[in-house]
A and B are shown apart, each in its own frame.
Chain A
Amino acid sequence: MSVIKTENLKYVYGAGLPGATTAVNGINIEIEKGEFVGVIGPTGCGKSTLITHFNGLLRPTEGKLYIDGVDIWAEPSKIRQFRFKVGLVFQYPEYQLFEETIYKDISFGPKNMGLPEDEIHARVMRAAKFVGLSQEMMERSPFELSGGQKRRVAIAGVLAMEPEVLVLDEPAAGLDPEGREMILSQVKRYHKETGTTVVLVSHSMEDIAKFADRVLVLQAGEVAMFDRTENIFARADELVELGLSVPEVTKIFLKMKELGAEVPTDVYTVKYARDRILEALAKKGGAPHA
């Protein structure tokens, strides 16, 4: 059974007012347990609106949302339990930090869940370890940290709730390449080690290509594509048409094809690209010279 399932999900901002805008329109998707799903689409395509539905922060104007097969809006008074099942990390999550110490801030979520003290402690420590925060740092103020460290504290604050599904909205936005790499690989490792379902929203095709099993492409509030990563990149020319930037290697292969070379275009990692080039050269008859 799928962890998250949407049925004709529709959300209108300012419904009934002049200037109402439909942010997502009739979304039907299913996300399986343990998957790593990437979500991409141009700015304003409804990515953030869609994922804010996943933990019941937004109530769909029309349609249904099921988590573990349960319609989450069947009983609106019980919506809070789904906030713990689906952990949502917003864009620039470091702006949500408020406690005196890092430890206290990370424990805010588990405390709200009403867990016993020792369980809270265990979870905070596990979450801190995953994002690479050392034991000594736990008593420091989160406001003394650098931007990248603050972000990791904020992400740990959601990890500590140990949700079944982890949803991250652009977790690497505004970080330097090293910080990006660090956060994304930590998320990937968390996914691998705990088996948690992960939904990652990103602008960067490279990141999505590297981490996601399946990719959801949104366009103007509707599903443009939802398929396995390799199948998505096989349609690289369509992605370009949608105004999305494809990974640099894919761009090279699209250009090679345009110039008449017999290469596939579903290339999105450098290693795969190397193999395909060697293959193409071998097929041409000559051994690779250069």
Chain B
Amino acid sequence: MLKDITIGQHFPGESVIHKMDPRAKLILTIAYIVMLFVGSNFLGLTISVLFLVLAYGISQIPLRLIGKSLKPILPIVIFTALLNLFFVPGTPVFQWWIITITKEGLRNIAIMTVRIICLIAGTSLLTYTTSPIVLTDAMERLMKPLAKLHLPVHELAMMMTIALRFIPTLIEETDKIMSAQKARGAELDTGSLKDRVKALVPVLIPLFISAFRRADELAMAMECRCYHGGEGRTRLKELKLGGMDVVLTLSCTAIFVLIGFSGRIMTMLPL
């Protein structure tokens, strides 16, 4: 059950998107998110969706995975959709008792839903095609200028790497502790909410203790290998922008510019 978490999961592959420089991927993903908001019109969103379908096609990530990563936020989408449906003023298309549904409301819902799906699917593509370690590497490189302002960039990236590395370990540990307490008759999945929260104590305390113990051991192991922070540290694999990275980045930028100006293009079209 705990092992079914899919957000942030990495699917290794050999496509150009997998092999693309993670820094470029990261920046392009952020740009794509911005563009989703700038180009919030029919034309802009159509291009955004097509772009995404194309990107998933190239990366050979099955589209049904989007559904999986969308599941957790589905309640939020439905809730905002309902709010929009009933409370946006404008030209009414349907009226019954105190409920009024407007044309603007329906339009908002359509735009918002597509935008959220694109948002999730777009960011998921980044994590699907980039291993977490490589991703934090890219973040570290991109934030390097901030180190001049005495921000602990390397330390932050290292913390993130370690945190990601220990997620599966801690999940496994949680499973083990839960089994051990169940063997002593703890009831973890029945009873009232209050009972269940109380029942978590025998799981959380050992889990925290073991997390601290692991942190201690890891710190010791790192010091034994002379880790002393980011200064003067070299890498086994230096990130290098290749020809393919430039081509992909430029073509994505072109599409993003198109999305960004889609509002203006729409007004120029004779509709």
Contacts and interface: CB of A to CB of B under 8 A. Distances in A.
B68 to A, nearest CB: 14
Contacts of A88: 183
Interface in A229-254: none
Given A95-B177, A96-B177, A98-B201, A83 B182 contact: yes
A96 B177 CA distance: 6
Given A80-B187, A109-B185, A143-B209, A57 B202 contact: no
B184 A98 contact: no
B206 A98 contact: yes
Nearest to A81: B185
Interface string B173-192: 10011011111111100000
Interface in B199-213: 201-202, 205-206, 209-210
A90 B185 contact: no
A57 B183 contact: yes
B251 to A, nearest CB: 35
Which of A83, A84, A113 has the most chain B CB atoms closer than 10 A to its own CB? A83
A87 interface: yes
Interface string A106-126: 001100110000000000000
B15 to A, nearest CB: 20
A67 interface: no
Given A57-B183, A83-B182, A109-B184, A90 B176 contact: yes
Contact of B205 (A83, A84, A98, A158): A98
A173 B186 CA distance: 25
A157 interface: yes
Nearest to B210: A95
Contacts of B205: 98
B interface, size bucket: 10 to 19
A158 B184 CA distance: 7
A96 B206 contact: yes
Interface string B144-186: 0000000000000000000000000000010011011111111
A88 B180 CA distance: 8
Interface string A126-155: 000000000000000001000000000000
B183 A112 contact: no
Nearest to A77: B190
Interface in B77-136: none
Contacts of A143: 209
Given A90-B176, A95-B176, A95-B177, A55 B202 contact: no
Interface string A78-101: 001001100111100101111000
Contacts of A113: 185
B183 A158 contact: yes
Contacts of A89: 183
A87 B184 CA distance: 8
Given A83-B182, A93-B180, A112-B185, 20 more contacts: A55-B183, A57-B179, A57-B183, A83-B183, A83-B184, A84-B185, A96-B206, A97-B206, A98-B201, A98-B202, A108-B181, A108-B185, A108-B186, A109-B184, A112-B184, A112-B186, A143-B209, A157-B184, A158-B184, A161-B184
Interface of B: 173, 176-177, 179-187, 201-202, 205-206, 209-210
Q: Which 5 A-B pairs have the closest CB atoms?
A: A112-B185, A98-B205, A96-B180, A109-B184, A88-B183
30 contacts: A52-B179, A55-B183, A57-B179, A57-B183, A80-B187, A83-B183, A89-B183, A90-B179, A90-B183, A95-B177, A95-B180, A95-B206, A95-B209, A95-B210, A96-B180, A96-B181, A96-B184, A96-B202, A98-B202, A98-B206, A108-B186, A108-B202, A109-B184, A109-B185, A112-B184, A112-B185, A112-B186, A112-B187, A161-B184, A161-B185
Interface of A: 52, 55, 57, 80, 83-84, 87-90, 93, 95-98, 108-109, 112-113, 143, 157-158, 161
